[in-house]
Amino acid sequence: MSQVPIDLLVCTRCRAMGASEEPPERPGTILARRLRHLAPESVRVCEVECLSNCSQGCTIALRGGDRWTYVYGRIAAEDDLAEIFEGVRKYAASPDGIVPWRERPAHFRKNCIARIPPIERFST
């Protein structure tokens, strides 16, 4: 992986898609805990209060250095860990965070919420 740490932001306020009742523990909190235990040292798992994608299940964001930031939704805490880490590995290996669409894990191709340019690109 890259020398620059990658931040893996995990929304802890997200609800499970279609949930009608408040669970004892939010899915995003469960996902963050699982990711933290499995993440390599170069990946910082950061819990955040809200990524404003509330109705779309768990939401994560990848950012790091002068890379583009990507936001992904509809993450399942119990099913998508392998795809998340595949996506993180490819993201970290790219110099600008842009992984060619066909090389992204299927979940990342189908559930990209936003792509945000690096702030340095707009600094004067």
The CATH number of 6-118, from 3.90.1150.10, 3.40.50.2300, 3.30.1340.10, 3.40.30.10, is 3.40.30.10
Decide if 37 contacts 74 (C-beta within 8 A): no
CB 89 within 8 A of CB 1: yes
Question: How far apart are the C-alpha atoms of 14 and 56, rounded to whole Å?
Answer: 8
* 3-class secondary-structure state, position 15: coil
- 81 by DSSP, 3-state: which? helix
Structure tokens given for 86: 């595949």
pLDDT for 23: 72
* pLDDT by 10-residue block (mean), the chain, 124 residues: 80 75 83 91 93 89 95 88 93 95 96 92 62
Structural domain spans, the chain: 6-118
Q: What per-residue confidence (pLDDT) applies to 114?
A: 95
How far apart are alpha carbons 64 and 54 in whole angstroms? Answer: 24
pTM of the model: 0.88
pLDDT of residue 121: 64
